[in-house]
Structure 1
Amino acid sequence: MSRSERLLDLIQCLRRHRRPVSGQVLADQLGVSIRTLYRDIATLQGQGAPIEGEAGLGYVLKPGFLLPPLMFTDEEIEAIVLGSRWVAKQPDLRLSAAAANALAKIAAVLPDDLREDLDASTLLVGPPMTAIEGIDLGIVRQAIRHERKLGFLYRDAGGAASQRVVWPFALGFFDKVRVVVAWCEMRQDFRHFRTDRISALDAIDARYPRRRQALLKEWRATLDRPRGP
């Protein structure tokens, strides 16, 4: 177990006790020596954790303490790095930049040992597939966040064009394509729209009449049902 994981486990142990608990009990629960336990308590206190008490009297974590986001396990760091690196290579330029910025902010507040783990991660993302986006995916993401309608011209696999007004509630990222998942007013049903077939995108300043979460739940229940363009 790494030191960062041990500190995380110590916080969780303290959370399970509402009254002061002796250092020896905590050390036994964590499987460490009492000297190591005292050093870990001092480290957490130095990082701002409101742990009260002292050796011989016991320790208690004050209510309301939220675990700092800098406390990650080794596998959590690998997941963060791998996910950020993948997003950073996507054609959505604003999302790509946001992933790189988020990773830099996380690195800036990590303890030294965790920052080294983050920098040395050997989980790599291959080169992105060639993708041509004719629209700004940031507009789509904003419409999803604010539950706003979108209008656009859509061409199906055969090249036939149609004007659509949709209620977007999800955006799928695949290796070769991005897909807008939405309720289509013309079809009166859920539809999947490849972003490379969308043009003349228009952000409509009108909120669609249902909540995004409700649409997502209903769409998931209908995934086995075939649907056209």
Structure 2
Amino acid sequence: MNRFDRITAILIQLQSRKIVKAQDLAERFEISLRTVYRDISSLAEAGVPIIGEAGVGYSIMDGYRLPPVMFTKEEARTFITAEKLMEKFTDFSTQSQYQSAMYKVKAVLRSSEKSMVENLENHIAVRNSNNPFPTPNSNALDILLKSISERKIVRINYVAIASDGPVDRLIEPVGIFHENNYWYTIAFCYLRRAYRNFRCDRMLKAEVTENPFQHQHAPLKDFLADSWERQNLRLVRIRMKKTAARYVSNQKYYYGFVSETVEGDEVEMSFLTGHIEWFARWYMMIAPNATICEPQVLKDTIKMLIRQIAENLEKPDTVPQVAI
């Protein structure tokens, strides 16, 4: 990237954020801090009202804006890919807002880029059989993002794993992330008085309250870095024939599926679960065609369940017989 393009890119980043640190600019453009200071000085000399504060960063005076930026063909192509992903992997409200933003982006494209974009729209498709938002009017993601930006508590009606029914909870979302075909939020739960991981498609209802957050939260990346320990997740590995594996292709995503490897005519699947007994009950449905590699606690739990079943089978029939 030449110096002119770099300075233009720095200006765009300054306009897109409230505060930008010199170190962040240096890392993004792979330049030294000395070069950052020189580029910032060049922008100031060109009349851009930049405000710099030692130890904080740079910002642009409120009200200053450049005319619409022209996008490259490469950038325009990525918009269409992102739009297709948004259509499949976000909730209804977020999709609508992103589509509205895309109309504004497309409005500033040159004629040649508009023609290319219109042509590409018919050549990109995202297929997803495991829709994380089965309800078409779900707005969980939009509500969570609003809560995070405004730092206001969210009330959700949530169906937890192995629960008898939905329960109202008050939470302070830390952030959202997408994993294994589902959207999740890590949040402080007032019911449990601790941080919990919530799957967004299990939220039957979500609404932002007027109550502000009562806690300061670490960045989302810090929570994700130690998610195994924080959630007490256990690694489960099972092995089965490929002919049997195809029958659990959709079910496995509901039980913490992480990855799988194929060895000959067998498939080894890895799962992360915080509910061993819940996983064991599902495993028993496929047990005749599968083998547990680890952990031992899963094997012990299944043995316990089998003993309980055997004891129930030995009990005398207490249902009165009706004479015919």
Question: Residue 39 of structure 1 aligns with which residue?
Answer: none
C-alpha displacement at 1:139, in angstroms?
A: 2.5
Structure-to-structure mapping, 1:1-229, within 5 angstroms: 11-12=4-5, 62-64=46-48, 70-90=69-89, 92-121=91-120, 124-129=124-129, 130=131, 131-133=133-135, 135-137=138-140, 138-161=142-165, 162-173=167-178, 176-211=181-216, 214-227=218-231
Q: Is the Cα–Cα contact under 8 Å of residues 135 and 195 in structure 1 kept in the other structure?
A: no
TM-score by length of 1: 0.60
* Alignment gaps of 5+ in structure 1: 1-7, 16-60
**Judging changes above 3 Å, is the alpha-carbon distance between structure 1 residues 170 and 14 closer, same or farther for their aligned structure 2 residues?**
closer
Q: What amino acid does structure 2 have at the position aligned with 1:126?
A: V
C-alpha displacement at 1:183, in angstroms?
A: 1.7
Q: Report which of the two structures shows the higher radius of gyration computed on alpha carbons.
A: 2
Higher relative contact order (CA 8 A, sep 6+): 1
Distance 2:164 2:81 in 1: 39
Q: Once the two structures are superposed, what CA deviation does each residue of 1:185-228 show, in whole Å capped at 9, x if it has no partner?
A: 3334322211222235343221112356x342542342342416
**Judging changes above 3 Å, is the alpha-carbon distance between structure 1 residues 72 and 9 closer, same or farther for their aligned structure 2 residues?**
farther
Q: Is the Cα–Cα contact under 8 Å of residues 147 and 211 in structure 1 kept in the other structure?
A: no
**Judging changes above 3 Å, is the alpha-carbon distance between structure 1 residues 118 and 164 closer, same or farther for their aligned structure 2 residues?**
same
C-alpha displacement at 1:9, in angstroms?
A: 5.9
**Judging changes above 3 Å, is the alpha-carbon distance between structure 1 residues 70 and 174 closer, same or farther for their aligned structure 2 residues?**
farther
**Judging changes above 3 Å, is the alpha-carbon distance between structure 1 residues 203 and 67 closer, same or farther for their aligned structure 2 residues?**
closer
C-alpha displacement at 1:153, in angstroms?
A: 3.5
Structure 1 segments of 4 or more deviating over 6 A? none
C-alpha displacement at 1:168, in angstroms?
A: 0.9
C-alpha displacement at 1:87, in angstroms?
A: 0.9
Q: Is the Cα–Cα contact under 8 Å of residues 182 and 190 in structure 1 kept in the other structure?
A: yes
TM-score by length of 2: 0.45
**Judging changes above 3 Å, is the alpha-carbon distance between structure 1 residues 183 and 218 closer, same or farther for their aligned structure 2 residues?**
farther
Q: What amino acid does structure 2 have at the position aligned with 1:152?
A: I
RMSD of aligned residue pairs (Cα, Å): 3.4
C-alpha displacement at 1:111, in angstroms?
A: 1.7
Q: What amino acid does structure 2 have at the position aligned with 1:190?
A: Y
Percent of aligned pairs with the same residue?
Answer: 18
C-alpha displacement at 1:11, in angstroms?
A: 4.2
Distance 2:189 2:225 in 1: 17
Secondary structure at the counterpart of residue 86 of structure 1: helix
